[in-house]
Amino acid sequence: MKAAKLLVPAGAAYLVAEAAVAVLIRRLRPTFPWLVSTRDAAPDIPPALVDKHAARSFDPDLGWCRRPGEQGTEMTDGGSTSYRLDQAARRHNPGFEDEPAPVAAFGDSFTFCRLVDDDQTWPHRLSRLLGVNVANYGVGNYGLDQALLRLERELPTLEARVVIMGVVPETIARVHSYWKHFFEYGNVLAFKPRFTLGPRGLTLHHSPIREPQEYATYRGRLPEIIGLDQFYTTKFSRDVLDFPYLPKLVRRARRHLPMLGHLLTGVGRSPQGRDQAVRAAFGTVLRDNARWTARLYADPDARRLLAALAERFVAVCRAAGKHPVLLVIPQLADLDRTDDGAAHEQTFAGLSATLPVVDVTARFRRDPDRTGLFSYGRLGPHCSPRANAVVADALRPVVTNLLRQPAVIHR
């Protein structure tokens, strides 16, 4: 009888806690899409959002790509920065606009160099060091797979003799994504192509969205999309927060509790205070994503896919008479992580028998002012002007040597 009496208040307290968490998440979710529910497995994609994406960056072959002549500004903690692209959709390289480009850089936002001005990117710094134009074809959020496909599309008119492929360690996750939303919650427009590796080598799976109007009917292809994107099962589904909330909070406490704690500090505060809270919560998301990246570097199949893509990069370059270079730039979360922090370094070092690899992780890790290596903006930290100078300095001897060598064509 006593046990039964105790169970009633315990049960009531549990239901009150569940209700409180439900209200909290409903309140926080509009400003923080990384709090996902079961509805997010197949979210509505507003037509107006699709129209804007189609006009600005949609690409049927690559998923997304920057437009010729595009320009914009981005805010950082240090103030406003600006960028513009030329008519070949390459980032402006001040002082080298009319020069031939014997060096080209492909890759992600750390190659494009978000959050710095055009004259503070590492391709521009490298141009200054070498005295030649380094064309910047970087596109935000690309994995090695998309950057490689962009290179292959540009090859017929690419004059460069040296091609630098810039990646962040998270590229091992990006090449496994078919819909980025299942890894980066809320990124619902980012359908992309991906490669799989089988007994006969790499197979390219085109993006499931080849025309903007297909966003309206994407749910009909969800089984195929989920089948080609492991993160739906291994990551997204585990992070869903629906009733009952408390067991899910406990199961993913390392992610959910710090994230909610940061967001709670912003409730009722000034816009600046709320922004700081959201940024701190987003830092938790980035660190959790970095842990997923580390797990993939421990997965032999994931490493084999990455190696196969690197081999394709080498083959494509050498068949065209160009010298390939692989550049690895760590994100801040890669430097903060103490568990398996060297996993990606070992993997990329293993590729150095195939092509030159410049990994600046060790240089960044030794820096006495790590935070000064990064500029801070809405979508997380990117390399600061000082860090871009370090990257250019690391590339200089490798690229100088390759520019002196004749092209070696392997068919």
Q: pLDDT of 37-82, one tens digit each?
A: 999 999 999 999 999 999 999 999 999 999 999 999 999 988 999 9
Residue 411 — pLDDT band, cuts 50, 70, 90? Answer: low
Rounded-to-integer distance, Cα 317 and Cα 94, Å = 27
pLDDT in tens, 221-258: 999 999 999 999 999 999 999 989 999 999 999 999 99
Percent of the chain with pLDDT over 70: 95
Look at residue 269 and tell me whether its pLDDT is greater than 90.
Answer: no
List, for residues 155-204, the tens digit of each pLDDT value: 999 999 999 999 999 999 999 999 999 999 999 999 999 999 999 999 99
pLDDT in tens, 361-378: 999 999 999 889 999 988
Q: Whole-prediction pTM value?
A: 0.94
Q: What is the pLDDT of residue 30?
A: 86
pLDDT of amino acid 380 = 86
For 2-29, how does the pLDDT look when each residue is reduced to its tens digit (9 = 90+)?
554 545 577 788 888 899 889 988 889 8
**Could you give the CA distance from residue 158 to residue 239 in angstroms, rounded to a whole number?**
43
